[in-house]
């Protein structure tokens, strides 16, 4: 039976970690993820877990320690944010290519510079092509539920890829919300024990991890890694189905909100979905046919599901909480636009970069985006595709 509680997003992750009781937790503190190792260290001190807690000297070292532990057959976890994730960058590639299913809690925070400690998605989006599975949460409940599902997804034998469980810094990480927690025994049974087939300390099957790969073999190994990400699609849905049967809450690659007859839609990631749902409800009450698509799984990218949803609308705005510096839009927009290329009936698409460095995004801001989409639907003219919303300027905003 579920337990009603009030927790912050960071507390929810640490609570889930305690229930799972991983073998190794290596971490270095960085705002706004610092509370996760802080809470977990108290569990260690109180004897509530058997985890080996390793306080290291840097985020690069924390990922290195997790890789060594995972390669040796242990279940390893860490947590980080922003520049800490950037400092892990080299090791992110190595962990993925070595097929080490590490679970990393990422509390999203803007990357320097200028120095900023508030939320956007520039840290994890910068790591989107490192070979890690990426899950994103709208609220604290989803943070907790994503974490419970993450290890089973990552440890699936034909996947064996590391996984990031992302949440919005301060917005969910520090805000306290009502949450349903599951009983320790039920969580332990759902996640299960980790029994890798191959690992460094297995006496009868010694192997090397992270060996030098020459040109006759490198591409074949990259193909295997790419196939593992494809296999992760099936694993994500299988684990989600079991989660729904076990705990009653259902998840998929994305969530469609009031999309049944929508002419205009937003596509976005993270906590802004809550604000967008409130905006959709207000506009629906005014008789406007608008909807929302919240992307929960960014890697592997849910191309078939997203294109199917967008194939029914006339116009859509893809909201990126990260600047792509590509000269033509953000990372979510790039993948979404590519996804829609082969649709027989493509919607008009625009990109709205917003919320950088913690800039507020309100219901009224999103109403302006929907107003802009309505104008596109009415005139058939898309106009500028690459837009920014919410910045101070002497010039009038397009939206």
CA distance 199 to 326: 40
Query: What DSSP state is assigned to residue 356?
Result: G
Q: What is the pLDDT of residue 220?
A: 96
- CATH number for the region 254-388 comes to 3.40.50.920
State the pairing for strand pair 24-27/52-55.
parallel
Q: What is the pLDDT of residue 399?
A: 72
Q: What is the pLDDT of residue 36?
A: 98
Per-residue pLDDT averaged across 318-340, rounded?
Answer: 97
Q: Does 129 score more than 90 pLDDT?
A: yes
Residue the block writes with tokens 């009031």: 258
| Residue 364: its H or E element | helix 363-379
- For the segment 6-37, what is each residue's pLDDT rounded down to a tens digit? 999 999 999 999 999 999 999 999 999 999 99
Strand order across the 290-295 sheet? 254-257, 290-295, 264-268, 315-320, 348-353, 386-388
CA distance 58 to 48: 26
For the chain, give the number of residues: 399
- CATH number for the region 3-247 comes to 3.40.50.970
Model confidence band, residue 72 (pLDDT cutoffs 50, 70, 90): very high
Average pLDDT, the chain: 96
Quick check: 280 and 265 in contact, CB under 8 A? no
Least confident span in 26-40, 194-208, 239-253, 259-273? 194-208
Global confidence as pTM: 0.97
Same fold across 3-247 and 254-388: yes
Q: Does 396 score more than 80 pLDDT?
A: no
Q: Nearest CA to 352 among 384, 313, 395, 377?
A: 384
State the pairing for strand pair 176-181/3-8.
antiparallel
Distance from chain centroid for Cα 252: 13
Neighbouring residues of 138: CB distance < 8 A, sequence distance ≥ 6: 172, 270, 271, 273, 274, 294, 296
Model confidence band, residue 141 (pLDDT cutoffs 50, 70, 90): very high
- For the segment 175-218, what is each residue's pLDDT rounded down to a tens digit? 999 999 999 999 999 999 999 988 888 888 778 888 899 999 99
CA distance 319 to 331: 10
CA distance 336 to 326: 15
Domain ranges of the chain: 3-247, 254-388
Per-residue pLDDT averaged across 143-148, rounded?
Answer: 98
Q: Where are the alpha helices (DSSP H) in 122-265?
A: 122-126, 140-155, 184-191, 215-247
């Amino acid at each position: 039976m579920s337990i009603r509680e009030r927790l912050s997003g960071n507390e929810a992750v640490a609570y889930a970690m305690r229930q799972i009781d991983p073998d190794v937790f290596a971490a270095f503190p960085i705002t706004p993820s610092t509370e996760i190792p802080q809470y977990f260290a108290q569990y260690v001190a109180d004897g509530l877990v058997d985890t080996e807690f390793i306080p290291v000297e840097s985020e690069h070292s924390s990922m290195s320690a997790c890789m060594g532990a995972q390669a040796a057959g242990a279940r390893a976890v860490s947590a980080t944010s922003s520049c800490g994730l950037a400092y892990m960058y080299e090791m992110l590639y190595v962990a993925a290519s070595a097929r080490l299913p590490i679970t990393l809690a990422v509390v999203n925070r803007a990357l320097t510079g200028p120095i900023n400690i508030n939320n956007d998605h520039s840290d994890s989006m910068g790591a989107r092509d490192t070979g890690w599975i990426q899950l994103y949460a709208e609220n604290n409940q989803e943070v907790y539920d994503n974490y419970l599902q993450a290890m089973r997804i990552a440890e699936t034998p034909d996947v064996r890829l590391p996984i990031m469980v992302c949440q919005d810094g301060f917005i969910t990480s520090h805000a306290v919300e009502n949450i349903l927690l599951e009983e320790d025994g039920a969580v332990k049974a759902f996640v299960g024990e980790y029994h890798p087939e191959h690992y460094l300390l297995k006496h009868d099957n010694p192997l090397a991890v992270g060996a030098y790969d020459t040109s006759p073999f490198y591409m074949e190994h990259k193909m295997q890694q790419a196939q593992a990400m494809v296999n992760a699609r099936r694993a994500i849905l299988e684990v989600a189905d079991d989660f729904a049967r076990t705990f009653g809450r259902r998840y998929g690659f994305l969530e469609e909100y009031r999309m049944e007859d929508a002419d205009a839609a937003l596509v976005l990631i993270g906590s802004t979905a809550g604000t967008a749902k409130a905006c959709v409800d207000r506009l629906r009450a005014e008789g406007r046919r608008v909807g929302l698509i919240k992307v929960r799984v960014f890697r592997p990218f849910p191309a078939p599901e997203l294109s199917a949803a967008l194939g029914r609308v006339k116009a859509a705005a893809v909201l990126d909480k990260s600047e792509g510096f590509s000269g033509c839009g953000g990372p979510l927009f790039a993948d979404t636009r590519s996804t829609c290329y082969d649709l027989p009936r493509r919607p008009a698409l625009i990109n709205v970069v917003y919320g950088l460095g913690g800039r507020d995004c309100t219901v009224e801001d999103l109403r302006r985006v929907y107003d802009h989409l309505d104008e596109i639907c009415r005139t058939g003219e898309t106009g500028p595709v690459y837009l920014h919303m919410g910045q101070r300027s002497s010039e009038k905003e397009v939206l």
